[in-house]
Amino acid sequence: MSQRIETLAVHAGQPPEPSTGAISTPVFLTSTYVQQGPGEHRGYEYARTQNPTREALEANLAALEGARFGVCFASGCAATVTVLHLLRAGDHVVAGDDLYGGTFRIFERVMRPLGLTTTYVDPTRPEAFAAAMRPETRLVWVETPTNPLLKICDLAAVAELCRQRGILLAVDNTFMTPVLQRPLELGATLVVHSTTKYINGHADVIGGAVLTSDEGLAERLRFLQNAMGAVPSPMDCFLILRGVKTLPLRIERQVDNAVRIARWLAEQVGGGLIERVIYPGLPSHPQHELASRQMRGPGAMISFVLQDGRQGALERARTVLRAVRLASCAESLGGVETLIEHPALMTHASLPRDQRERLGIGDGLIRLSVGIEHVDDILADLEQALARAA
Ligand code: P1T
Q: Are 220 and 188 part of one and the same domain?
A: yes
Any catalytic annotation for residue 48? yes
Q: Are 70 and 151 part of one and the same domain?
A: yes
Residue 85: predicted pLDDT = 98
CATH number at residue 298: 3.90.1150.10
Q: Give the sign of the dihedral formed by CA 58, CA 208, CA 5, CA 239.
A: positive
> Which pLDDT tens digit goes with each residue over 105-157?
999 999 999 999 999 999 999 999 999 999 999 999 999 999 999 999 999 99
pLDDT band at 310 (very low <50, low <70, confident <90, very high): confident
The gap between the terminal CA atoms of the chain, to the nearest Å, is 55
- Answer yes or no: is pLDDT of 308 > 80: yes
Between CA 235 and CA 49 the distance in angstroms is 16
Residue 178: predicted pLDDT = 98
What's this model's pTM, rounded to 2 decimal places? 0.98
Q: Are 208 and 336 part of one and the same domain?
A: no
Any catalytic annotation for residue 279? no
Evaluate: CB of 75 within 6 angstroms of ligand 1. yes
Any catalytic annotation for residue 100? yes
Q: Are 201 and 270 part of one and the same domain?
A: no
Minimal-distance CA residue to ligand 1 atom 16? 332
Evaluate: CB of 103 within 6 angstroms of ligand 1. yes
- Answer yes or no: is pLDDT of 62 > 70: yes
Q: Are 229 and 255 part of one and the same domain?
A: no
Q: Which domain holds residue 180?
A: 5-244
Evaluate: CB of 307 within 6 angstroms of ligand 1. no
Evaluate: CB of 104 within 6 angstroms of ligand 1. no
Mean pLDDT of 221-235: 98
Average pLDDT, rounded, for the chain = 97
CATH number at residue 62: 3.40.640.10
Q: Are 274 and 378 part of one and the same domain?
A: yes
Q: Are 28 and 172 part of one and the same domain?
A: yes
Mean pLDDT of 14-40: 96
> Which pLDDT tens digit goes with each residue over 347-365?
999 888 898 999 999 999 9
Distance from the alpha carbon of residue 304 to the mean position of ligand 1, in angstroms: 19
Q: How many residues does the chain have?
A: 390
Q: Are 162 and 269 part of one and the same domain?
A: no
Residue at which a domain ends, from 219, 244, 269: 244
Any catalytic annotation for residue 172? yes
Residue at which a domain ends, from 222, 244, 266: 244
Evaluate: CB of 100 within 6 angstroms of ligand 1. yes
Residue at which a domain ends, from 220, 244, 268: 244
pLDDT band at 309 (very low <50, low <70, confident <90, very high): confident
Contact 224, 85 (CB under 8 A): yes
pLDDT band at 2 (very low <50, low <70, confident <90, very high): confident
Mean pLDDT of 223-246: 98
Q: Are 107 and 237 part of one and the same domain?
A: yes
Q: Are 167 and 213 part of one and the same domain?
A: yes
As for how many domains the chain has, the answer is: 2
Q: Are 221 and 108 part of one and the same domain?
A: yes
Q: What is the CA 307 to chain-centroid distance, rounded?
A: 29
Instruction: Tell me how many degrees the CA angle 328-332-338 measures, rounded to the nearest 5.
Output: 35
pLDDT band at 1 (very low <50, low <70, confident <90, very high): low
Between CA 278 and CA 149 the distance in angstroms is 7
- Answer yes or no: is pLDDT of 343 > 90: yes
Q: Are 171 and 53 part of one and the same domain?
A: yes
